[in-house]
Amino acid sequence: MTIMITGGSGQLGSEIIRQLRDAGRPFLAPQRAECDVTDVKQTKDFVYRCSPDIIIHCAAFTDVERAEEEQERAFLVNATGTKHIAEAASAVGAVLVYISTDYVFDGKKKDPYGEGDHPVPLNVYGRSKLAGEEAVREAISRHYIVRTSWVFGGAGPNFIKKILTLSKTKDTLKVVDDVMGSPTYTVDLAGAILRLIQTDRFGTFHLANGGACSWYDLAAEAIRLSGSGTTILPCSSEAYPSKAVRPRYSVLGNHKTQPLPQWQTAVKRYLASISV
Ligand SMILES: NC(=O)c1ccc[n+]([C@@H]2O[C@H](COP(=O)([O-])OP(=O)(O)OC[C@H]3O[C@@H](n4cnc5c(N)ncnc54)[C@H](OP(=O)(O)O)[C@@H]3O)[C@@H](O)[C@H]2O)c1
């Protein structure tokens, strides 16, 4: 069984690769230069040549702010690129895993979003990822659409790393406390995806660490665990104006799979694994 991973240099893709390598399982992880998902010919040629059994599609345009200015590019990667991958997967009889986002929701709910809740994205990134979901549903029936949120882990920058880095030079940091979500550790997410693909229970799933918090709660917990003397102060999201409108509440309920560990224990394990 060969698994192909797109976006293998990213936060999630690199963790999936690490777990597959540790388990001694065969995988293919083409660089963007070998399989740029916006290039239909290159993408299909690659997939046809390698004929994987499963494709875990993590590649995406993930810069939420930049997507507001580069709408065409965001749709090209997240919607058209996903369509290319989904059609190629279908042609070779592979199963497809598409990673989607909590930003498909508008945040008007007050309790966790279930897999069946109606998506109404507020920003370009969310709309482009939802268009990717639709492309998957249309092109390939053997799919898993995995929505996740507030991802942190090994490769690349993330919110926790940023807070810990800032704490080295700042006595106080203001962090928004009026936006709630589900932080998700790549280690737990990658493990859950690799378990999910063994089930053959296709469809749409929410995979996020358990519990819910604000960005303020997440920063405060990371600072507390790190032993830093920096004080985290709550503030309103109006203190940090942004181009992209974000959902105020995008907590994901895992209603169809085993729950992932609580976010606090995930942050603790993550901090034990890094030195910032
Ligand atoms: N990060 C979050 O908080 C979050 C939350 C919810 C959902 N998600 C979803 O989770 C998935 C993984 O996110 P992540 O944070 O791991 O992403 P990431 O760290 O930003 O990595 C993105 C990956 O996509 C690749 N890529 C971008 N454009 C490409 C193209 N045209 N062709 C091929 N590869 C391309 C990048 O390759 P290069 O190295 O060449 O740039 C990189 O490997 C994405 O689908 C994202 O939408 C993320």
What are 227-263's pLDDT values in tens digits? 999 999 999 999 888 999 999 999 999 989 999 999 9
Q: Output the CA 271–ligand 1 centroid distance in Å.
A: 22
- Under CATH, what is the fold of the domain 3-157+184-209? Rossmann fold (3.40.50)
Beta carbons within 8 Å of 125's beta carbon, 6+ residues apart: 61, 62, 63, 64, 67, 74, 78, 101, 103, 244
What are 13-23's pLDDT values in tens digits? 999 999 999 99
Predicted pLDDT at 170? 94
Q: Is the pLDDT of residue 2 over 70?
A: yes
154 vs 170 pLDDT, higher one: 170
Predicted pLDDT at 275? 66
Q: Is the pLDDT of residue 154 over 90?
A: no
Predicted pLDDT at 203? 97
What are 34-66's pLDDT values in tens digits? 999 999 999 999 999 999 999 999 999 999 999
Q: Output the CA 144–ligand 1 centroid distance in Å.
A: 17
Query: Identity (one letter) of the amino acid at 11?
Result: Q
Would you give the distance in Å from CA 226 to the centre of its chain? 25
Q: How far apart are CA 189 and CA 4, in angstroms?
A: 17
What are 72-95's pLDDT values in tens digits? 999 999 999 999 999 999 999 999
What is the pLDDT averaged over residues 3-10?
97
Query: Identity (one letter) of the amino acid at 66?
Result: R
Domain boundaries, given as residue ranges, for the chain = 3-157+184-209
Core vs surface per residue 52-81: b (16+ CB within 10 A) or e: bebbbbbbbbbebebbbeeeebbbebbbbb
What number does the ligand 1 atom closest to the CA of 156 have? 19
Q: Which of 58, 61, 77 to mutate to test the pocket of ligand 1 (most atoms within 8 A of CB)?
A: 58
What is the pLDDT averaged over residues 203-221?
97
Q: How confident is the model at residue 276 (pLDDT cuts 50, 70, 90)?
A: low
Residues in the chain: 276
What number does the ligand 1 atom closest to the CA of 147 have? 7
Q: Is the pLDDT of residue 156 over 90?
A: no
Core vs surface per residue 115-124: b (16+ CB within 10 A) or e: beeebebbbb
Residues recognised as catalytic: 125
Q: Is the pLDDT of residue 126 over 60?
A: yes
Q: Output the CA 23–ligand 1 centroid distance in Å.
A: 23
Q: In this structure, what are the phi and psi dihedrals at residue 99, rounded to the nearest 5 degrees?
A: -90, 120
Predicted pLDDT at 255? 87
Q: In this structure, what are the phi and psi dihedrals at residue 112, rounded to the nearest 5 degrees?
A: -55, 140
Predicted pLDDT at 157? 86
Query: Identity (one letter) of the amino acid at 105?
Result: F
Predicted pLDDT at 274? 86
